């Protein structure tokens, strides 16, 4: 099957045989909270419905895989990775089996968002008592399959992160700045880890700041160190910005909605779960990023805007939005 890439053109690569992608997404200038930033617009990278943003980078290896083998994964019943995999499997004619623990009643009664999308795309859902450390050995009834761990936090995600890193080096090469920092909103930290790994070894003036959205800094560092060990043990982990206050992941809050709206009026539409929380942390500590005059600020836009409408319904149910 021919893949059509929205913002990607294939160019013959004369150094090696085969093709490489060039100019995957643009780097644009935006002013937010009084600071000029460069925004890496991976939100504009859309391969298929709900297969966009940083998931295009993390699943690069599977997008380009012609295998028809089933894909098996696990995690939350509303996850972005789940929806991206469901979309990818539908696009490439692969079976998709997804393990999760009990689905909340309201979602079972009235599927919505990523959950509905994935079921409609043909996902086979398997409900199990626990998915903690689910391994391929526990997967039954499939003659063969490709196993994607929680959040696609595995060595194969490095391939697409490298493509992104090369793109950024190319786009930033005219900058004379000695210190370019790229902020990456992080869940598992997979994208941040592999991006930093390539940059540390290939671009001395560009580094990553991972912003923990799911837990605190220690949790994110631990996750990235673990993934590093499982992917070559290179010993490079990006800097992590420690949030001032811990907040529960993905829970609606009016402060978050405020930041999200403010960013939107300033011309930066981020997603309401990862992006808004990352910005809340960035605004709390301006000296680390937007208030630091000695650095060139780059915001990596992870995409994920497809999840906003179901998240907004949660805000509505809680009376935080009309």
Ligand X SMILES: *Cc1c(COP(=O)(O)O)cnc(C)c1O
Is 188 a binding residue for ligand X by CB under 6 A? The answer is yes
Is residue 289 within 8 A of residue 185, CB to CB? The reply is: no
Is 189 a binding residue for ligand X by CB under 6 A? The answer is yes
Q: Show Cβ contacts of residue 43 under 8 Å, excluding neighbours closer than 6 positions.
A: 25, 52, 53, 269, 301, 302, 303, 304, 305
Is 151 a binding residue for ligand X by CB under 6 A? The answer is yes
Is 131 a binding residue for ligand X by CB under 6 A? The answer is no
Considering only the stretches 91-99, 187-195, 231-239, 290-298, report the one whose residues sit in contact with ligand X under the rule CB under 6 A.
187-195
With CB under 6 A as the contact rule, the residue among 8, 25, 32, 54 that binds ligand X is 54
Q: Taking the complex as a whole, how short is the minimal distance between the CB of residue 125 and ligand X, in angstroms?
A: 20
Restricted to residues 227-256, the positions that interact with ligand X (CB under 6 A) are: none
With CB under 6 A as the contact rule, the residue among 92, 190, 231, 311 that binds ligand X is 190
Is 191 a binding residue for ligand X by CB under 6 A? The answer is yes
| Rounded Cα–Cα distance for residues 117 and 78 (Å) | 10
Is 282 a binding residue for ligand X by CB under 6 A? The answer is no
Is residue 38 within 8 A of residue 297, CB to CB? The reply is: yes
Is 52 a binding residue for ligand X by CB under 6 A? The answer is no
Q: Which is nearer to ligand X, 97 or 193 (CB)?
A: 193
Q: Which is nearer to ligand X, 212 or 296 (CB)?
A: 212
Q: Which of helix, strand or coil describes residue 191?
A: helix
Q: Which is nearer to ligand X, 40 or 58 (CB)?
A: 58
Q: Which DSSP string do the residues of 233-262 spell out, in sequence order?
A: ------EEPPPSS---TT---HHHHHHHHH
Considering only the stretches 28-36, 130-138, 181-189, 308-316, report the one whose residues sit in contact with ligand X under the rule CB under 6 A.
181-189
Q: Which is nearer to ligand X, 166 or 277 (CB)?
A: 277
CA-to-CA separations, 95 to 58, 85, 275, 278, in angstroms, rounded: 19, 10, 31, 34
| Rounded Cα–Cα distance for residues 244 and 246 (Å) | 7
Q: Taking the complex as a whole, how short is the minimal distance between the CB of residue 11 and ligand X, in angstroms?
A: 27
Is residue 235 within 8 A of residue 222, CB to CB? The reply is: no
Q: Which is nearer to ligand X, 24 or 189 (CB)?
A: 189
Restricted to residues 292-321, the positions that interact with ligand X (CB under 6 A) are: 302-304
> What is the signed CA dihedral for 238, 159, 191, 80, rounded to 10 degrees?
-170
Residues of this chain that interact with ligand X (CB under 6 A) are 53-54, 58, 80-81, 151, 185-192, 271, 274, 302-304
């Amino acid at each position: 099957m021919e893949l059509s890439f929205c913002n990607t053109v294939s160019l013959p690569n004369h150094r090696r045989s085969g093709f490489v992608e060039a100019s995957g997404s643009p780097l644009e200038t935006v002013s937010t909270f009084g600071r000029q930033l460069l925004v890496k617009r991976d939100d504009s990278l859309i391969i298929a419905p709900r297969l966009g943003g940083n998931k295009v980078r993390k699943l690069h290896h599977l997008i380009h895989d012609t295998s028809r083998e089933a894909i098996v994964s696990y995690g939350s019943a509303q996850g972005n990775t789940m929806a991206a995999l469901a979309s990818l499997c539908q696009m490439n004619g692969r079976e998709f089996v997804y393990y999760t623990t009990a689905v909340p009643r309201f979602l079972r009664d009235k599927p919505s968002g990523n959950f509905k999308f994935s079921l409609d795309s043909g996902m086979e859902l398997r409900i199990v008592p626990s998915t903690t450390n689910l391994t391929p050995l526990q997967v039954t009834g499939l003659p063969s399959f490709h196993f994607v761990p929680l959040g696609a936090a595995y060595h194969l995600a490095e391939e697409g992160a490298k493509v992104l890193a090369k793109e950024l080096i190319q786009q930033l090469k005219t900058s004379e700045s000695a210190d370019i920092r790229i902020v990456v909103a992080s869940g598992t930290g997979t994208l941040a880890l592999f991006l930093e790994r390539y940059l540390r070894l290939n671009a001395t003036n560009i580094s990553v700041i991972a912003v923990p959205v799911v837990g605190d800094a220690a949790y994110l560092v631990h996750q990235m160190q673990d993934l590093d060990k499982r992917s070559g043990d290179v010993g490079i982990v990006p800097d992590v910005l420690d949030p001032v206050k811990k907040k529960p992941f993905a829970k609606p809050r009016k402060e978050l909605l405020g930041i999200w709206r403010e960013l939107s009026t300033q011309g930066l539409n981020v997603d309401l779960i990862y992006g808004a929380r990352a910005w809340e942390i960035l605004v709390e500590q301006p000296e680390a990023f937007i208030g630091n005059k000695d650095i060139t600020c780059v915001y990596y836009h992870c995409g994920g805007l497809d999840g906003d409408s179901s998240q907004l319904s949660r805000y509505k149910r809680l009376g935080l939005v009309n």
